Structure 1
Amino acid sequence: MDPTDLPGYAGRIHDYFAAQPEHFRLMTWGQLELAAPGVRPDDAIQRAAAHRIEQLRTAQETGHLDPAWDPLDVLVFVNQIAMSWANRPDLARTLSPEDHALHLAARRAAIVAAVQRLFPATP
């Protein structure tokens, strides 16, 4: 994740789950069924999230990201916007293959635009 380009990051997350929807389902199932309560330093997912939160905090401290946001909120909002269509595949099932490709491109553009408005990319 590049905290100076959260719109690009969101687009890549969308692309990943659009290409591999089974990974989204497994991730969701794991969050529901396998998540142990509390902080576990040996948990790779918790370590990765903590690293991203620290990246966001550093970007705020160096003027690349609005410091008014809690870094955890930034991470959650960007990820949820990026994965919003992965959670609703039913809305695209009636599309032809040609329309599906256009749908994916339009959804990606909407995701990138939404994140850009909330957390603009910076140099």
Structure 2
Amino acid sequence: MRARTAGRRARRLFERYGVVGFGLAGPALFGTWGSSLLGAALGIPRWRLIRWLMAGVTLWCTVLLVASDAVPFTPDDLPGYAGRLFDYCRQHPEVIRLATWHRLERGDSHDRDPAVAAPTRDAKLEALDSVQKKDGTGADFSPTALLTLVLSIALAWNPGNPTGMPAATTEAESADDRRRSIVRAVRRLL
């Protein structure tokens, strides 16, 4: 059933926007492998399909890279950063969906896609390391562990979090309550 639905969506996308639209949107909608298979099934010439799928992957990776820097990283104010990241992700849930796509599509290993993830992550880790050496912030953790913990706490109520609570169980808490909890938790972590 799912395959038929994806096939119908792919056909509509192709008929409406052609090879270019299919190649640009396909990776985000169907994944790269799915787009390759669906494009071949639709009869799109291989060389055109590959060219536009590569452009689509590049586009979505660039969007993710820009989005990852949308909340300025403040290593000297990690609780504030966690709160601002929570706010941003509530206002822009599409960024979380895009990050989830990226991890599924490219993996989360540093060496699999260094052109997209490494510069942003490495800059944050270097800044965090510098602050830790200067004033001992979060010195119980390595910069990598500390950044991972802060990001995990900030995104704890994200709908994409597999360990998140269902909406029905958290309705009593407001977004402001959640934000305060995040800031307080990160402050205690340090």
Alignment TM class, shorter chain as reference: 0.7 to 0.9
Cα distance change, pair 37–94 in 1 and its aligned pair in 2 (3 A):
closer
Find out whether 1:107 has 2:178 as its counterpart: yes
Looking at secondary structure, tell me which structure has more helix per residue. Answer: 2
Aligned to 1:91: 166
Question: Take 2:113 and 2:95, find their aligned partners in 1: how far apart are those partners?
Answer: 24
Sequence identity, in percent?
Answer: 35
Question: Take 1:74 and 1:94, find their aligned partners in 2: how far apart are those partners?
Answer: 29
Higher relative contact order (Cα pairs below 8 Å, separated by 6+ residues): 1
Secondary structure of the residue aligned to 2:166 is: helix
Shift of 1:93: 6.0
Cα distance change, pair 37–73 in 1 and its aligned pair in 2 (3 A):
closer
Aligned to 1:69: 141
Secondary structure of the residue aligned to 2:135 is: coil
Q: Which consecutive residues of structure 1, in runs of 5 or more, have no partner in the other structure?
A: none
Q: CA RMSD in A?
A: 2.6
Q: Which consecutive residues of structure 2, in runs of 5 or more, have no partner in the other structure?
A: 1-72
Question: Take 1:38 and 1:60, find their aligned partners in 2: how far apart are those partners?
Answer: 23
Secondary structure of the residue aligned to 1:43 is: helix
Cα distance change, pair 36–20 in 1 and its aligned pair in 2 (3 A):
closer
2:100 to 25, 28, 37: 28
Normalised TM-score (structure 2): 0.53
1:11 to 83, 86, 96: 83
Q: Which has the larger radius of gyration?
A: 2
Aligned to 1:81: 153
Aligned residue-pair number: 115
Cα distance change, pair 109–43 in 1 and its aligned pair in 2 (3 A):
same
Cα distance change, pair 91–63 in 1 and its aligned pair in 2 (3 A):
same
Cα distance change, pair 38–50 in 1 and its aligned pair in 2 (3 A):
closer
Aligned to 2:24: none
